[in-house]
Amino acid sequence: MMAADATILGIPLKYVSLVTLCIQNSTLVIVMRYSRLDKENLYYTSTAVFLSELIKLIICLYVAGRNQVRETGRLSIQELYSQIFAPDAWKLMIPAALYTIQNNLQYVAVSMLDAATFQVTYQLKILTTALCSVIMLKTSLSGMKWFSLVLLTFGVALVQMPSSDHVNSNEDDDATMEKIVGLGAVAVACVISGIAGVYFEKVLKNSKASVWIRNVQLSFFSLFPALIMGVWWKDGAGVWKNGFFYNYNYVVLGAIACQAIGGIIVAMVVKYADNILKGFATSISIILSFLASVYLFNFIVTSTFLMGATLVLIATYVYSKPDPKKEIPSNNKEKDDGLINYIILIKGRCKFHK
């Protein structure tokens, strides 16, 4: 049975994976935001990032082992070890460190911004990934894709514009500073996301190692910066005094689990769905986050936000569409498809390469 024809309970897996991705993407942002609302009982986000990477490592290691059994009929720990710690494994140290920084910045951003604004603004990673791909991989983008990137940038800018009532009000200085810090964190996270995603794509294209082995390597190397830069350097004093699981609750654990399993869901989407459907999944996730923010966090909807979010949705869909009636040389088509896949994959971080 072809991957595209695979089903579960009679439902095509491509639709199951897309629905799951939509729910996971929107749920992750909402749960992360909700877990940071109680300013008096905040947990250490560095510990959450570390645990998320640890869970990803376990999941990817399990899948890599299952794949080995499926291919060879047995599980060889020695062979698995030699694949994971291959001579070129060190190449994953750079994206591992970058992704660790990115994940920490995401927590900073959701602590300062409402979920809807964060979700829309974070789509700037499409722009940064595209630019990095053009620069680092020499990818060629069509005029329509460049237009969608301009539309995306304009839409994100509109989302940040306050309404006229907001401009005339005496806004609290602390709230203004929080928004500036949050937007700065999103901007830096998007840049890092683009660089790390394209670098990871380049490593995968120049390697014969399976994607799950690469993900095991990536998660393994991510543990060290997460532990040293985050748990020890950033929150070391607090963790030593209050404990690693300080102020943990079911919401925090839910955020960690949701972030960890995201990569597996993304892998299913890339395997069973096409780029247009993945674009729809991203757009629907934005809408779900927006509706949840209105209901759960009393998010105030402005006309500029609606216009900006609409432009972002359109840009996401347009960018996901293949170029109409244009034969792309095999090498360039490979690069372009890889770019689109990795833009969708960056959030999940445990990636599946086509």
- pLDDT (tens digit per residue) in 189-210: 999 988 988 888 788 777 778 7
Token pair 């964190």 in the structure block, residue: 185
Least reliable range by pLDDT among 23-37, 106-120, 211-225, 284-298: 284-298
Question: What's the angle, vertex CA 171, arms to CA 159 and CA 121, rounded to 5?
Answer: 20
Cα 260 off chain centre by? 11
| Whole-number Å distance between alpha carbons of 149 and 188 | 18
Q: Please tell me the predicted confidence (pLDDT) of residue 274.
A: 56
User: Is the model's pLDDT at 58 over the cut of 60?
Assistant: yes
Taking the CA atoms of 338, 342, 344 and 350 in sequence, report the sign of the dihedral they define: positive
Question: Of all helices (H) and strands (E), which one includes residue 302?
Answer: none
Least reliable range by pLDDT among 209-223, 224-238, 280-294: 280-294
Mean pLDDT throughout 125-146? 88
| Whole-number Å distance between alpha carbons of 67 and 83 | 13
| Whole-number Å distance between alpha carbons of 172 and 174 | 5
Q: Please tell me the predicted confidence (pLDDT) of residue 353.
A: 41
Which SS3 state, helix, strand or coil, does residue 122 take? coil
User: Is the model's pLDDT at 163 over the cut of 90?
Assistant: no
339: region left, alpha or beta (phi > 0 left; psi from -120 to 50 alpha): alpha
Give the domain ranges of the chain: 3-345
Query: In the structure encoding, which two tokens stand for residue 269, read together?
Result: 């989407």
| Whole-number Å distance between alpha carbons of 70 and 201 | 25
Cα 261 off chain centre by? 11
| Whole-number Å distance between alpha carbons of 7 and 12 | 4
Burial status of residue 245 (CB atoms within 10 A of its CB: 0-12, 13-18, 19 or more): middle
| Whole-number Å distance between alpha carbons of 183 and 185 | 5
Instruction: State the number of CA atoms in the 13 A half-sphere of 187 facing the CB.
Output: 10
Q: Please tell me the predicted confidence (pLDDT) of residue 338.
A: 52
Amino acid at 134: V
